[in-house]
Amino acid sequence: MRFFFVSIFAALLLAHPAQAGTLERAGMEKNFPPPLVVGERDDRLPIWPILKQEAGSYEVVAYAFESIDFARIPGFGGTAPNLLIALAPDGTFRDAKVIAHHEPVFLEGLGSEPLFAFVEQYVGLSARQPIRVGRPNARGSGAAPATTVDGISMATASTRVINETMLAASLAVAREKLGFGAVNAGLRVEAKPDVEPLSLAELERRGWIKRWRIAPAEVDAAFAGTGLADPDPGPPDEPFAALTLAYLNVPSIGRAILGEAAQARLMREIGPGGHAVLVISSGRWSPIPEDFLLGSVPERLTIQQGGLTVNARDAAWERRDLAPDLAAGPWTLLKIGDAAGFDPSAPWSLSVKVTRERGQIFPEKVAREIATEYRLPPELFTREVPDDGPSWTDSWRARGVELGIIAAALGLLVPVLARQDALVAQPRPFGLFRLGFLAFTLGFVGWYAQAQLSIVTLVGAARALFQTGDFGFLLYDPPSLLIWGFVLATLVVWGRGTFCGWLCPFGALQEFFAFFAKPLRIRQITVPPRLDRALRQVKYAVLAAILLAAALGSPLADGFSEIEPFKTAITLYFVRSWPFVLYAVGLLALNLFVYKGFCRYLCPLGAGLALAGRLRLLDWIPRRAECGSPCQLCKVRCRYGAIEPSGQIDYPECFQCMECVTIIGDPHQCVPQVLAAKRGKHLVPQPVAAE
């Protein structure tokens, strides 16, 4: 025991600082090989621009960074995963890879390949959209929206931590480089239905219909320094291009241009949250060429807001006559989907792309963009920012049914254990109840809800305590957190036994395996008392070694934690490499000879709970003066060896099976009661404080 506390003290003195990004230029160049070029790292932040040569110049195609530098969200190994993320200028993920992680379910469990594949799903998605983790294979079946990534069975909590890391780090970089990270994802802005009939002239006067004339001199200025003059300048008083833009969702604008019926039909077609922008062209150059394809994304027109390109495509709207004053040339009606994060109540811009060529044999194209701003009064719109709460709340909503069932089971367990004169006093009904509850613990809590408590959580807590200071990872596994809360509460009342005897799925599996000992005619071994006392100390040494390694930031903590077979037998359903399966099966086989030998001698989580259980407030198991001398029945029946020869209860080793409570309350089993009955007396058991 002394070794345990000395080890923890040493960990406090030697704890390592938090980790930072590990990739320098060579590492970045390895991940972004030619024709991509890694630019100079940002002066203020660890962000690397990734460049590609376009039309004789280098353009930024992505910003690369490590998530650990921007979002240290501890996973279930207690340390934050580190991801390599490349964010394109439009906010989409160009690349996403796992650099390092300590997620227990993937380390020597499922293997890291499923995690790598999970992260790769983000490529092509946009950081501007709220991305959620769905069910496994939901995207492949078409059951999930485009902003959902497939989850991984048996790794729900870990994938949610990865998702939060991906989005938090990306939005932090986007705020610095792309100008949109501060905007709330999922913002819904809609035009008010109030209609103020206005003429086209009045709309134009107010700037709600914007006329944009691009002069030839403005275009020439954009190409300054390229040596490309306009080959056909045209008359000096003629504009290079003349465009008209209007946002049609506002009824006063849309109805004046399309008419009331057509505007209503357009709103139905673009759907809730969609937006429609009209662009009409006139002049000698048009951004809408003759071969423009309806329904396509215009190559020469771009809508931008907050420094980002907004995904917009032609709505394939039926070409009918517009208002005569507007229908001066080719036009397009651009549709913006609700997932684009477009805010029509804030300023946005329309840019046109003009391309010129130089050279004859191998002509080189040079493109330049010219933009104009468009804005409408915010009073024309209603704004709704959904308050979904922190990302971990998704886990609680998604697992509400499981939480309700587990909470109901825990609510049933408390009165059964507390009222010793009720169900516990009836050997056969209580025995059936215990078997049923253990089956629930193994089948539902363990294999279905994946809520097996583990030393891995304590490892994560130790790493968070000494390295990150962030315990938020616990919130991503609500069933386990619910059971943890219950176990900690019952520790101060009953001690370790409530979890180890009732709520540990692997412990329940061992109890069921023990039933095979009798039909197999296996006689269980009684460990000699001296050896038994020595073996019980092993679990405390194991606990100290694991927590010390975790506090020091050593990866040995993950290896030491494998002394638990929980991951193999419960989390992964024995689907694992053969050494781990052989070890777990071996412990179950040992259980046939030495009842719950793992729990009594090796389990580090049991050791931690036994230590904390010393804070219990009650010596709640009733004892008699005759217990231990002369009666030894409870001691002989206790398969955990938790009753001393004196009759006292060794609470740190008690698994709360309640068999001794049942015996002492049964006048047909309790020897002092049997003898007293023969003498015509009645005995009442009383709790006896441990020495």
Residue 81 to residue 154: CA distance in whole angstroms? 18
Residue 15 in tokens: 């704890």
What is residue 333's DSSP assignment? E
Residue 10 has a pLDDT of 39
Residues in the chain: 691
| Preceding amide of 35 cis, omega within 30 | yes
Q: Which amino acid is at 21?
A: G
Strand pairing of 148-149 and 132-133? Answer: parallel
So what's the pLDDT on residue 331? Answer: 85
Q: Are 47 and 172 in contact (CB under 8 A)?
A: no
What angle do the packed helices 400-418 and 478-491 form, to 10 degrees? 20
* Torsion sign, CA atoms 589, 459, 546, 529: negative
**Quick one: residue 374, left, alpha or beta (phi over 0 = left, psi -120 to 50 = alpha)?**
beta
pLDDT less than 50: residues of the chain:
1-18, 182-185, 687-691
CB 351 within 8 A of CB 368: no
Q: How far apart are CA 343 and CA 558, in angstroms?
A: 47
What does the pLDDT look like over 548-563, one tens digit per residue?
988 887 778 878 888 9
Query: What pLDDT does residue 349 have?
Result: 92
Element (H, E) at 270: helix 260-270
pLDDT recorded at residue 595: 92
For residue 20, the model assigns a pLDDT of: 59
**Alpha-carbon distance 464 to 102, whole Å?**
13
**Separate counts of helices (H) and strands (E) for the chain:** 25, 20
Q: Which residues contact 96 (CB under 8 A, 6 or more apart)?
A: 83, 84, 85, 86, 119, 120, 122, 123, 166
How many Å separate Cα 631 from the centre of its chain?
55
Return the structure tokens found at 403. Answer: 């939480």
Which residue type occupies 313? R
CA distance 678 to 474: 57
Longest dimension (CA), the chain: 127
pLDDT number for residue 377: 92
pLDDT at 56 (0 to 100): 59
What pLDDT sits at residue 103? Answer: 81
Let me know the angle formed at the C-alpha of 663 by 658 and 664, rounded to the nearest 5 degrees.
100
Identify any residues that bridge with 691 across adjacent strands, giving them in sequence order: none
Q: What is the pLDDT of residues 590-611, one digit of tens each?
A: 999 999 999 999 999 999 999 9
Q: In whole angstroms, how far apart are CA 582 and each of 13, 453, 566, 586? A: 38, 22, 13, 6
Rounded to whole angstroms, the Cα distance separating 594 from 590 reads: 6
DSSP-assigned beta bridge partners for residue 52: 59
Name the residue type at position 652.
P
**Residue 353, beta-bridge partner list:** 369
Contacts 24+ apart (CB under 8 A), 147-151: 147/339, 149/118, 149/121, 149/122, 149/125, 150/118, 150/121, 151/118
CB proximity list for 361: less than 8 A, separation 6 or greater:
none
pLDDT given for residue 562 in this prediction: 87
Torsion region of 91: left, alpha or beta (phi above 0 gives left; psi -120 to 50 gives alpha): left
